[in-house]
């Protein structure tokens, strides 16, 4: 059962999440950190950047992105690689050689998924995996119904996810409909999971993930099978528990 901590505001939840990551980096300076993107984690990275300016070193940390859109070049502002660079890697001085992500422009996305899974294994696996949650209960881009036995794979995005993420693209732009994502099996193989959810929009997904049955219908319910999962919520996201 996950350890669940509830904070009054989204900012307090983000600060607590950043504090967990900072403590993990202090305890293990060569931490392998799994990173998530999306609106929820923006204040988490902001707080980690502040911790860096106050003296926290990320020099030995290696980061692995959960997922990336297929068909978006790394330079595209809405690619997850670009987001991670802008919000976290550049401000804390992490060089590209320590920042890993699936290549959404690979000629063969299936081969790229296999390459990425092998890169995670070569790094010794993920020590701490940061996660957000979709309104439909997805983690990474494991959309319901999720196959809990999948490693890194190519997936079609759910219509709810496409609608939720439309805001990150220009009206005239083609929005990617596929992604390469760590699978539930990959995510659960991290030594510790740290999921943050904030806002009323996540209330039902959180209730299903933490209080519902472990089921492919709610991919985040797979966290119940992990022995070291911490869930950090604001009061709104926790209001269905």
List interacting residues with ligand F6R (CB under 6 A).
36-40, 66-67, 80, 132-134, 138-141
The active-site residue out of 20, 52, 67, 142 is: 67
In the bound state with ligand F6R, the residue whose beta carbon lies nearer, of 40 and 98, is 40
Of 143, 153, 226, 234, the catalytic one is 143
Q: Which of 83, 112, 127, 138 is catalytic?
A: 138
Q: How far is the CB of 203 from ligand F6R (least distance, A)?
A: 13
Best CA proximity match to 119, nearest among 136, 140, 103: 103
User: Is 76 one of the catalytic residues?
Assistant: no
Residue closer to ligand F6R (CB basis): 30 or 181:
181
Nearer Cβ to ligand F6R, position 57 or 90?
90
Please provide residue 121's backbone torsions phi and psi, each rounded to the nearest 5 degrees: -65, -40
| Nearer Cβ to ligand F6R (165/215) | 165
Active site residue 173: no
136 a catalytic residue: yes
Query: Strand pairing partners for 100?
Result: 64
CB 15 to ligand F6R: min, Å: 16
Specify whether 67 is catalytic: yes
Tokens of 155: 């997936």
Closest to ligand F6R by CB, 60 vs 201, is 201
Residue 173 CA, chain-centre distance (Å), reads 24
Minimal CA–CA distance to 142: which of 188, 106, 176, 110? 188
204, burial (CB in 10 Å: exposed 0-12, middle 13-18, buried 19+)? middle
Which of 68, 127, 136, 234 is catalytic? The answer is 136
DSSP result, 139-191: BTTBPSSP-TT--SEEEEPPHHHHHHHGGGS-TTSPPP-EEEE--HHHHHTSS
Least Å distance between CB 118 and ligand F6R?
A: 20
**Nearest residue relative to ligand F6R (C-beta):** 132
State in angstroms the smallest separation of the CB of 211 from ligand F6R: 19
The separation between the first and the last C-alpha atoms of the chain, rounded to the nearest angstrom, is: 14
Least Å from the CB of residue 55 to ligand F6R: 28
78 and 72 Cβ atoms separated by less than 8 Å: yes
CB hemisphere CA count around 42 (13 angstroms): 5
Task: Give SS3 for 12.
Answer: helix
Instruction: Tell me the catalytic residues.
Output: 67, 136, 138, 143
């Amino acid at each position: 059962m996950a350890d669940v901590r509830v904070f009054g505001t989204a900012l307090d939840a983000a600060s607590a999440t950043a504090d967990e990551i900072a403590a993990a980096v202090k305890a293990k300076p060569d931490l392998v950190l799994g990173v998530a993107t999306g609106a929820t984690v923006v204040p988490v990275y902001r707080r980690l950047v502040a911790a860096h300016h106050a003296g926290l070193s990320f020099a030995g940390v290696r980061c692995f992105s959960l997922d990336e859109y297929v068909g978006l070049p790394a330079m595209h502002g809405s690619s997850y690689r670009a987001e991670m660079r802008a919000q976290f890697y550049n401000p804390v001085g992490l060089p590209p050689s320590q920042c890993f992500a699936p290549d959404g422009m690979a000629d063969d996305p299936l081969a790229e998924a296999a390459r990425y899974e092998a890169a995670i294994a070569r790094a010794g696996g993920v020590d701490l995996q940061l996660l957000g949650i979709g309104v439909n209960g997805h983690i990474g881009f494991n959309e319901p119904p999720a196959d809990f036995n999948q490693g890194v794979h190519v997936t079609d995005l759910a219509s709810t996810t496409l609608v939720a993420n439309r805001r990150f693209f220009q009206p005239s732009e083609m929005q990617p409909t596929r992604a390469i994502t760590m699978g539930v099996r990959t995510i659960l193989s991290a030594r510790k999971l740290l999921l943050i959810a904030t806002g009323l929009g996540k209330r039902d997904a959180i209730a299903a993930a933490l209080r519902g049955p472990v089921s492919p219908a709610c991919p985040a319910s797979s966290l119940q099978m992990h022995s070291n999962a911490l869930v950090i919520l604001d009061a709104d996201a926790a209001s269905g528990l």
